[in-house]
């Protein structure tokens, strides 16, 4: 039996290994609780020494719910995430119909993405700080209720102003949901399973590209752009009830993940810079997916939904497959995602006017973006210098700040230079992001890193690494 020790805070004390046992502390009684399949955290040991040589250590907190119930709740949260992201990206497929119905240009309707992203950017961290000590279940239920109200407003919208109000309200709900759901979902599982649990949660938003966006686009083409918002309203209300019934009541401090494993402000700032650049690059072009692929690649309007389905399908498959590798290669996964998406932007810049090239690049976008989204949030949580709630909220803020900048720059470029140049700008932004990751110092943390982080590199079977 391998032995690991921890002198740090709960939530930063588990490592990943096979055929081992882990001792957790019950969040209720504080008594040790043995969970098979993990590493032992032995009281009386200090980092860097054998278990019987030392004096003080903390056992890890137990998951606040049984594995079976945690998996059921994870499914409900993934479906909720599916609805939130479908609402977020729906304007990509609805842009033309909304433009014609409301008498506004497509560049003006691009403000649906900008207003949404601004609302998320401005409210994520304040809402995370306001709710940090609240029970996770009721925070998520509140987010779903506000989401349903905002979607209902969109379903009833008959003017540009009402539509913008709907986007702002659902943006606030989006901010609250994503500020808490990732650490809450991961906090129901042992820390060693964080990467896998996060990836499975993100299967929901990945599916939004396969089912949600193409479905919303198709329904709009066959009926009216209000119809998808009616469906989102009903789904949000139903899931609010489902989560209220199924999810256990626990706070962040009672979960298995309270702080990052390798807390580092310097690394976290770099992670945030990469996050903003990658999302700005994506929304700069993908907000205007329809105009690019109909004007540049010369696809018919009714094939846009098929193209979106292709990208979404490859994204779902990739999200499922990448889950098993995140805990082992956290930063290499980021490099792989950035490298692939850089190649995709080059392909669209050079050969986007050719239909076969365009289809291949859409499929590659699904692969690369799915790797990036999962790997980046995992990377951010590892290095959060604060509690994971605040670290995750900061990540979400930078994610959406990139959306704001990207959608606005894309709108200006679309109106002045045309859709042809959008992927060129995206390519340049991703190249800078990749350079930031490749210049990241490798190896062991420096002297100033917290004691339990150094212990993380000494113990275990070597599967969890800084790179």
pLDDT at 258: 63
Distance of CA 70 to the CA centre of its chain: 19
CATH number at residue 368: 1.20.1250.20
Same domain, 51 and 148: no
22: β partners: 35
Burial class, 69, CB count within 10 angstroms (exposed 0-12 / middle 13-18 / buried 19+): middle
Alpha helices in 352-387 (DSSP H): 355-383
Closest among 412, 428, 423 to 106, alpha carbons compared: 412
Rounded distance between C-alpha atoms, residue 229 and residue 155, angstroms: 5
Same domain, 24 and 157: no
* 316-332 pLDDT, tens digit each: 889 888 877 877 888 89
DSSP state, residue 23? E
Handedness of CA 396, 397, 400, 405 (dihedral sign): negative
pTM equals: 0.71
Find out whether 419 and 291 touch, Cβ atoms under 8 Å. yes
Find out whether 67 and 160 touch, Cβ atoms under 8 Å. no
What 3-state DSSP class applies to 35?
Answer: strand
* 6-61 pLDDT, tens digit each: 333 333 343 333 333 333 444 434 444 433 333 333 333 333 332 332 333 334 56
Same domain, 304 and 252: yes
Domain with 309 in it: 67-443
Rounded distance between C-alpha atoms, residue 363 and residue 73, angstroms: 30
Has residue 216 been placed in a domain?
yes
Query: Where do we find the tokens 């409900």?
Result: 76
Average pLDDT for the chain: 80
Integer CA distances (angstroms), 456 to 131, 190, 218, 344, in order: 30, 16, 49, 36
State which H helix or E strand residue 81 sits in.
helix 67-102
Number of domains in the chain: 2
Identify the domain boundary among 62, 93, 109: 62
Has residue 293 been placed in a domain?
yes
Closest among 174, 200, 194, 237 to 382, alpha carbons compared: 194
* 254-303 pLDDT, tens digit each: 555 566 678 899 999 999 999 999 999 999 999 888 899 999 999 998 88
For the chain, percent of residues with pLDDT exceeding 90: 43
Same domain, 224 and 264: yes
Same domain, 432 and 305: yes
Burial class, 436, CB count within 10 angstroms (exposed 0-12 / middle 13-18 / buried 19+): middle
Same domain, 352 and 220: yes
DSSP state, residue 141? H
Same domain, 80 and 47: no
């Amino acid at each position: 039996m391998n032995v690991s020790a921890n002198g740090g805070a709960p939530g930063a004390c588990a490592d990943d290994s096979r055929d081992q046992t882990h001792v957790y502390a019950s969040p209720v009684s504080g008594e040790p609780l043995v969970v098979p399949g993990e590493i032992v955290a032995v009281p009386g040991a200090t980092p860097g020494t054998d278990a019987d040589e030392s004096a003080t250590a903390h056992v890890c907190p137990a998951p606040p719910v049984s594995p079976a119930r945690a998996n059921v709740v994870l499914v409900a949260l993934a479906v909720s995430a599916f609805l939130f992201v479908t609402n977020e990206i729906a304007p990509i497929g609805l842009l033309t119909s909304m433009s014609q119905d409301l008498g506004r240009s497509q560049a003006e309707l691009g403000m649906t993405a900008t207003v949404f992203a601004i609302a998320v950017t401005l409210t994520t961290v304040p809402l995370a700080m306001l709710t940090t000590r609240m029970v996770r279940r009721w925070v998520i239920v509140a987010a779903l209720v506000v989401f349903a109200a905002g979607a209902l407003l969109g379903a009833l919208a008959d003017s540009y102003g009402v539509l913008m109000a709907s986007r702002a309200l659902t943006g606030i709900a989006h901010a609250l949901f994503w500020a808490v759901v990732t650490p809450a979902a991961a906090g129901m599982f042992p820390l060693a399973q964080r990467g896998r649990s996060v990836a499975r949660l993100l299967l929901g938003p990945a599916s939004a590209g396969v089912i949600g966006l193409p479905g919303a686009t198709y329904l709009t083409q066959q009926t009216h752009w209000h119809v998808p918002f009616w469906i989102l309203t009903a789904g949000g209300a139903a899931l609010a009830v489902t989560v209220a019934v199924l999810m256990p009541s626990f706070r962040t401090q009672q979960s298995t993940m309270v702080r990052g494993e390798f807390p580092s402000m310097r690394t976290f700032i770099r992670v945030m810079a990469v996050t903003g650049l990658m999302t700005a690059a994506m929304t700069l072009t993908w907000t205007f997916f329809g105009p690019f692929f109909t004007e540049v690649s010369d696809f018919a309007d009714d094939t846009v939904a098929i193209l979106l389905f292709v990208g979404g399908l490859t994204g779902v498959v990739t999200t499922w497959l990448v889950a098993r590798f995140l805990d082992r290669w956290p930063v290499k996964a980021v490099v792989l995602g950035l490298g692939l998406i850089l190649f995709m932007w080059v392909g669209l810049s050079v050969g986007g006017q050719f239909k076969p090239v365009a289809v291949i690049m859409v499929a590659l976008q699904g692969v690369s973006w799915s790797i990036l989204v999962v790997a980046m949030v995992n990377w951010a949580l590892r290095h959060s210098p604060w509690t994971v709630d605040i670290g995750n909220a900061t990540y979400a803020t930078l994610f959406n700040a990139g959306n704001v900048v990207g959608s606005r720059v894309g709108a200006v470029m679309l109106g002045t230079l045309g859709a042809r140049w959008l992927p060129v700008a995206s390519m340049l932004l991703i190249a800078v992001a990749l350079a930031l990751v490749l210049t990241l110092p490798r190896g062991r943390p420096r002297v100033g890193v917290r004691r339990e982080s150094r212990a993380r590199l000494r113990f275990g079977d070597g599967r969890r690494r800084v790179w």
